[in-house]
Amino acid sequence: MEYDNEMAVSFKAIGENEAFARTVVSAFILGLDPCVREMNDIKTAVSEAVTNSIIHGYDNKEGIVRMWCGICQATVYIEVTDEGKGIEDIALAMEPLYTGRPDMERSGLGFTIMQSFMDDVKVESAVGKGTRVFMVKEIGKPEQE
């Protein structure tokens, strides 16, 4: 697929970089003139995916998170990748309220938020190898309830 624009960043898997990832994506998609809601939807989805890589993929330990973003016409494509522990059962992990870490006060809503705030979310993962979350959202569409 040919994108009009693309960018990629790699950063250390530390909590401070959750805000960094949101800021980078916001700046990159600004040219598409997203409304406040669309901007917030994308920032939230990115925050969920990046946080998952940091706290689940790498268990808050050493690691690098990679974020790629592409734009084609009015559609934003985002990929967040880690080389962490991977997800054994993706369907289960994506169920609303499922969390692998009930001890950490997680609500188990990260994937649910990504799915409801973005048009499409795909997850690929291999145990011991890592996880890749791919998300798509078209800018300028009316919000469907």
Partner 1 sequence: MDISFERHKNCLVVSVLGDIDHHFADLAKTAIDNEAVKTGVKNIVFDLSHVDFMDSAGIGMIIGRYKYTLNKGGLTAVAGLSENLKKIMMLSGLYRIIKIYDSVEDAAKAV
Catalytic residue set:
48, 52, 106
Q: Which is nearer to partner 1, 1 or 36 (CB)?
A: 36
Site string for ligand ATP, 41-80 (x = CB under 6 A): -------x---xx--xx-----------------------
Burial of 77 (0-12, 13-18, 19+ CB in 10 A): middle
Residue 110 binds to Mg ion (criterion: CB under 5 A): yes
Interaction residues for partner 1, span 54-113 (CB under 8 A): 54-55, 104-107, 109-110, 112-113
Q: 3-class SS at 27?
A: helix
Angle between helices 36-52 and 16-29 (to 10 degrees): 140
* Dist CA 39 CA 22 (whole Å): 10
Looking at 22-30, 31-39, 93-101, 137-145, which segment touches ligand ATP (CB under 6 A)? Answer: 93-101
Say which residue the tokens 């960043």 belong to.
9
Total residues contacting partner 1 by CB under 8 A comes to: 24
